[in-house]
Amino acid sequence: MLYLFNSGFRPLYVRNVLNTLFLPEGCTNEYRYRYVGEPRHVPPAVYSKLPELRSGMECVLCFIDRFGATGYNYHPLRLGAYLSNREANGYLYFRIQLGTLLYPRDLAAFKHHLLEVLDPLGLPKLTANDPENASDGSYAILAESIFRQADEYLKDDAAWTAAVEDLSKTRALSTNSEQSPIFIRIDVHQPSTDSKRIAPVLRDGASIYQLEKDKSHELSLTYRFPRQRTDQGARARVEIKLGDNLRGQTSFSIDSHANSVLAPFSSKRYMEDSSGSITLSPVDESGQPSLLISDSSLRYEIRESTAFWLQMAGALLMFSLAGAFIGVDFSKLCPFSVQAFFSAAWPKLIAGLIQTAALFWVFRLIGKKVV
């Protein structure tokens, strides 16, 4: 298993903790670590094994609270699958496909178990009694999994709620006069009685939602707003930035400590580009702490439905066969019979079928009629 840690040492890393809790299962996210110079957070033993890592290898993403009363505290957030890595400017970027959310039922017992297994491998821990010391260990570790006892962990909604409750008490993600974190979890659904979840597909290492044109969809947005616990009058607003080819709800209000809202959207009737992304953006108010939320995007592409393409194929077939029928010289069919007709028309009918296939292929390639 690949263990990846994030201590929220810089704002970029804090934001990535929120991204890890925000993105739906099946989406991808990157995690970066310094692998040269000092401090070095990818040890040579792990770096040398990178070419051997197989895509799909099990991974776990953990947050480290540097300022725990008894040293570092460790918060596993979710499982995932390693996809690939890349290097840039002294940093190593791991691309992970996010999986099940999980959280320990007993955080102290989890810490004890984690130290037993990973401490000999350089697990990050309080160094020189200075929680801001960045030379504190290895943030990417290869070891056996310690998550085999499923009954020791909460999963999915329960895990997300428990993790948010504990993380909101840490220094990196606390609510104070400067920042006001909003923990958000998003998913994409088709409106129906069972609210069917849409799963993203993996393409070239990136997750993409395939949305059907002219169909309604909705975003499921579950949030926790810790400031509401100490200030019941606290309010916030978040903008939903839809792609240019989508229309729908463009914002939602945060007016409770905990809530879940649905934001409907659909594709525009006429559009030039079939791809785009959906992003959330906080609306900061003067004199109020800055809102801190995920900055991840959901990538999507809009496709015609299967029914549309069946109708298109049928219309093209009728057009081509009608053309073949018109091209038959009926004066040569004496006496006229069905057998005589097909005997004279079969080359044109075959050409019409080929024409149908060619036109359908062109439409599938470009998505619209050539004019």
**pLDDT tens by residue, 75-128:** 999 999 999 999 999 999 999 999 999 999 999 999 999 999 999 999 999 999
pLDDT tens-digit profile of 164-201? 999 999 999 999 999 999 999 999 998 865 668 899 99
Quick check: 229 and 257 in contact, CB under 8 A? yes
pLDDT tens-digit profile of 304-338? 756 655 666 666 666 666 665 655 555 555 565 55
Kindly compute the dihedral angle of the four CA atoms of residues 151, 156, 157, 162, in this order, to the nearest 10 degrees: 60
pLDDT band at 357 (very low <50, low <70, confident <90, very high): confident
Q: What is the share, in percent, of the chain residues with pLDDT greater than 90? A: 71
pLDDT band at 57 (very low <50, low <70, confident <90, very high): very high
- b/e code 128-150 from CB counts within 10 Å (16+ = b): eeebeeeebbbbbbbeeebbeee
Q: How far apart, in whole angstroms, are the C-alpha atoms of residue 5 and residue 143?
A: 13
> Which two tokens mark 75?
């918060």
Residue among 127, 180, 143, 115 at smallest CA distance from 57: 143
Q: What is the pLDDT of residue 354?
A: 73
Q: Which amino acid is at 91?
A: Y
Query: Is residue 262's pLDDT more than 60?
Result: yes
Q: What is the pLDDT of residue 81?
A: 98
Quick check: 119 and 61 in contact, CB under 8 A? no
Query: Is residue 208's pLDDT more than 60?
Result: yes
Quick check: 6 and 139 in contact, CB under 8 A? yes
As assigned by CATH, the class of the 177-303 domain is mainly beta
How many helices and strands (H and E) does the chain possess?
7, 20
Q: How far apart, in whole angstroms, are the C-alpha atoms of residue 335 and residue 120?
A: 95
Q: What is the pLDDT of residue 370?
A: 41
- Give me the mean pLDDT over the 132-143 stretch: 96
pLDDT tens-digit profile of 280-307? 999 999 888 999 999 999 999 988 756 6
> Which two tokens mark 159?
């895990």
- Give me the mean pLDDT over the 208-223 stretch: 92
> What are the backbone dihedrals phi and psi of residue 130, each rounded to the nearest 5 degrees, phi first?
-125, 105
Query: Is residue 369's pLDDT more than 50?
Result: no
> Which two tokens mark 365?
């390639």
- Give me the mean pLDDT over the 242-262 stretch: 94
Q: What is the pLDDT of residue 196?
A: 80
Q: What is the pLDDT of residue 290?
A: 95
Strand ranges, E, within the chain? 2-6, 28-34, 58-65, 73-88, 91-104, 140-142, 153-155, 179-181, 183-190, 196-197, 201-203, 206-212, 217-224, 236-241, 246-248, 251-254, 258-267, 275-282, 290-292, 297-303
pTM above 0.95, yes or no: no
Q: How far apart, in whole angstroms, are the C-alpha atoms of residue 259 and residue 61?
A: 25
- Give me the mean pLDDT over the 50-61 stretch: 96
- Sequence-distant (6+) residues with CB within 8 A of 11 are none
Q: What is the pLDDT of residue 159?
A: 98
312 sits in which H/E element:
helix 306-326
Question: Of 209-213, 319-323, 326-330, 345-349, which gets the smallest average pLDDT?
Answer: 326-330
Q: What rounded mean pLDDT belongs to the chain?
A: 88
Per the DSSP assignment, residues forming a β-bridge with 92 are 33, 87
Measured CA angle at 94 (ends 148, 91), to 5 deg:
135
